[in-house]
Amino acid sequence: MTIENINGKNMPAYRKLVRRAGATIICAALMAGTSSFAYAQQAEEAEMIASLEEIIVTARKRSESIQETPIAITALSTAQLEKRSLTNLMEIGAYIPNVVMNSSPSTSGGGNNSQIYIRGIGQSDFLFTTDPGVGIYVDGVYHPRTLGGVMDLLDLERVEVLRGPQGTLFGKNTIGGAIALTSQKPMGDGTGYLEVTTGRFDRLDIRGSFDVALSDTLAAKVSMSSKNRDGIGRRLEYGTDKVLDTAGDENATSARVALRWEASPDVTIDFTADYTREREKGVPSILVFVDDNGAALGGLGGLWNILVGGPAGLPYTSDFIIGGDNRYDSYATDGNRNTLDSYGFSMDIDWAVNENLSFRSITAYREMEAFFNSDTDGSPLSFVTTDQAQDQNQVSQEFQLIGTSFDDKLDWVVGVFYFDEFGRDDNVVRLASGLYDALEALPGTLDGSPLTAPTAAGGPGNPINPNFDLDLNIFNEIDIKSYAAFTQGTYQVSDKISVTAGARYSYEKKDYFLNHTRENSGAVIIGNRTISENWSSFTPMGSIDYKINEDALIYISVTQGFKSGGFNGRPISVSAVDSFDPETVLSYEFGFKTDWFDNRLRLNGAVFNANYTDMQLGSISADENGVLALRIQNAGKAKIQGFELELQARPTANLDIIGSLGYVDFEITQLDAGVQDFNLNTRAMKTPEWNFSLGAEYTVEIDSSSEISLRGDWTYQSETEQNVQNTDLIRAPGYGLLNTRLTYSNLDNDWEIALFVTNLTDKTYVSSGFQTLTSFGTANLIYGRPREWGLTVKKRF
């Protein structure tokens, strides 16, 4: 469908839609400047109604109101997280425009691997040889890996989600955006809480914290969380449907100890130690398609089954698809175990040098160990299974000077950053496991040819047998060192106009070691090879904001970000051992922040247009010898455009309304030569064109000491691709989810009890998926969680 633009040229309807939305947003912002004065007079005469709270953020390395921050940013406080019954980071994405957050299937990092996309940019691969497109920071400390990204929201002050490139103040791997979590600091006031939640699937969660003064200048805060619930899926015995075990359970413990030392009136030192332990079985991937014509590596599955698998001769067919209402059940032969141990230490020193200058130092060390396995084929035949062990450690240091100059007209920050990371990945892929040993055990070749000149596999010492040793041991190590220097300043030109400019220079060096062998025969595929690369990047930004009045701000900005280069972590031949370069995004944005009706209505929005260059995409392409190989490469360019709206309203003292709307159009504009898996019509994965949320909470005061509130939240996202090939079989249809919560609060005794239901309508929806159509002829889906109820009791003291 096309329409005419003002120049008489045809253009797609969605582009007109974006332009209309942008025009509407601009008009709304300008109207705020002419209307708020009249509304202010009406408000003085109206009944007093509580206004919306001011939200303070630190997205620009200093504390300021979110309504005065010229960035597309959403901030969620602890109270807002609790009211939505949100307990881990992946659950907040549905409430933020143009943000998608999921945990991975067990075949791609296990259930504790995060997949985060903002405005069409992110990362789903868990290997250390690639980097995410959205950065996660906890109290200013960078967490570089998607594995371990499904974080518990324990004792947080707030979560800030910044959309668009953040390459100046946050640095590398923030081309989609950045997520900053800020924990509650010790106050030494003797306060705390204990919270217990029970619910469906024998859920039992316990959370609590205690804040205590150790001396006049030293305070401590201890926080912990324990989560336990049974699995939502069953692993069944083929032929009898006997339940072997369950999957999709939760067994996680988190703890944090924080110390705050007021070393002097001008110096504050925060020390934090945290630990997370997870022992779970991931949500199972469900077999939904099998090519009955035998795509399993050209009959290899049949040979394996005759010699190894049982019962002998059982074909690999669509009979293994359970289907029906049993969307979480599987005949898989493995339990999808996920384990994670993660801990870290950080020290944050804040020194107020004088009234115009402060110094901040953030020092951190972190370490992580993880293991996960999966049954990729999802059938009762142990045909394709994987075991993945990873360990990682990092050291980071950041220094900042934050100041004001020229009679407080210039706010500025200057900083340097150092990051050192080591990661090890030991992956065993078992494909037709046992076939090599079975062939070696045969008395002779399969076709009867002599072992001295065999023309088929079989028989001891047959040189053809190693070709059927498809149990692969893939060992990778990565050593990364990063350095950066940055500055940014905001100059107040007048009472209404401010100009911001900044830049960051980054340098990064990566060393990649790999050794890939065949597990049983010991044959070397790629032996003891090391390659090194280094890259540098310059990421500037600039913005101008105009304060129409005390209740309205508009801004325009140009920002740039980059995602690190890396290496192909899954080469199947020496020729596939190569690197890829960083990718970059240059984004143009217009936005507004407005408060209406005496701060009882808040409407914020943004329109963006971004140029995405040197996209890193995983694809199957030919090497210099014409051999097809799976590799990540810089595939081309894309244009990303869209808009975002966020609304908060308090029409009466008893009613709160909140909503968001996001639209993103991702268009590939150029593909490099040799790229085979994509075309110019390929849609971005994990990027719904539309996402929407709407929530309301109504509170009734029972008496002077108690109240009851009812809340409902509805979220929606449109159709979503689950891989870069846009495979029809695993495409996720659009869906909406409804969550509700009823809370009774006793204000005098500081306790509350809440009954909540998530996915109230028990909607069946797809959260992820993968396919192996060209190799094994299968497709698998991972379904989102079913309807669940819970009861929470919380006591504050």
Q: Please give the span between the terminal C-alpha atoms of the chain, in angstroms, as a whole number.
A: 62
Q: In this structure, are strands 267-281 and 766-771 parallel, antiparallel, or unpaired?
A: unpaired
Coil/strand/helix, residue 783: strand
Predicted local confidence at residue 105, as pLDDT:
59
Backbone angles phi, psi at 687, to 5 degrees: -135, 90
Task: Give me the residues paired with residue 485 across strands.
Answer: 416, 505
Predicted local confidence at residue 318, as pLDDT:
83
Q: Contact 222/209 with Cβ under 8 angstroms?
A: yes
Which is nearest to 539 in space by CA: 564, 573, 512, 576? 564
How far apart CA 548 and CA 494 sit, in angstroms, is 12
Task: Give me the residues paired with residue 554 across strands.
Answer: 546, 592
Predicted local confidence at residue 620, as pLDDT:
60
User: What is the secondary structure of 423-439 as a DSSP string?
Assistant: EEEEEEEEESTTHHHHH
How far apart CA 179 and CA 347 sit, in angstroms, is 20
Q: Which residue has the tokens 């994670």?
A: 340
How far apart CA 623 and CA 573 sit, in angstroms, is 10
Q: Contact 249/229 with Cβ under 8 angstroms?
A: yes
- Reported in sequence order, the residue ranges of 200-306 that DSSP labels E, i.e. its strands, are 203-213, 218-229, 233-236, 243-247, 250-264, 267-281, 286-290
Domain ranges across the chain: 2-433+470-796
Q: What is the per-residue pLDDT across 405-457, written as a single tens digit (0 to 9) for each?
A: 999 999 999 999 999 999 999 998 888 778 888 899 999 999 999 999 999 99
How far apart CA 724 and CA 739 sit, in angstroms, is 31
Q: Contact 151/109 with Cβ under 8 angstroms?
A: no
For residue 210, CA distances in Å to 261, 301, 506 come to 17, 58, 41
How far apart CA 712 and CA 696 sit, in angstroms, is 6
Beta-carbon-side half-sphere exposure of residue 90 (alpha carbons within 13 Å): 19
For residue 153, CA distances in Å to 167, 333, 559, 694, 740 come to 25, 34, 29, 22, 20
How far apart CA 646 and CA 540 sit, in angstroms, is 27
Is the pTM above the cut of 0.85?
yes
Q: What is the per-residue pLDDT across 306-356, written as a single tens digit (0 to 9) for each?
A: 787 655 556 777 888 898 778 889 888 876 788 999 999 999 999 999 999
How far apart CA 399 and CA 615 sit, in angstroms, is 32
Local mean pLDDT, 10-residue blocks, the chain (797 residues): 38 46 49 44 49 93 95 94 91 96 66 89 89 96 91 93 97 96 96 97 97 97 96 89 89 97 97 95 84 62 70 71 85 82 98 97 97 83 84 98 97 98 93 85 92 92 88 94 98 97 98 92 90 97 97 98 93 84 97 96 98 86 57 90 98 96 96 79 93 97 93 98 90 97 90 97 92 80 94 95
CA-derived radius of gyration, the chain: 28
Predicted local confidence at residue 132, as pLDDT:
94
- Reported in sequence order, the residue ranges of 329-409 that DSSP labels E, i.e. its strands, are 337-354, 357-375, 384-405
Which residues have CB under 8 Å from 750's CB, separation 6+?
Answer: 795, 796, 797
Type and span of the H or E element at 21: helix 13-45
User: Residue 721 has which token pair?
Assistant: 């691709």
User: Residue 424 has which token pair?
Assistant: 């090890």
Does domain 2-433+470-796 fall under CATH 3.30.1310.10? My reply is: no
Predicted local confidence at residue 28, as pLDDT:
46
How far apart CA 7 and CA 555 sit, in angstroms, is 28
Beta-carbon-side half-sphere exposure of residue 595 (alpha carbons within 13 Å): 18
How far apart CA 165 and CA 179 sit, in angstroms, is 12
Backbone angles phi, psi at 589, to 5 degrees: -140, 140
- Reported residue count of the chain is 797
Strand order in the sheet with 114-118: 99-103, 114-118, 121-123
For residue 785, CA distances in Å to 94, 149, 226, 399, 488 come to 14, 19, 20, 43, 43
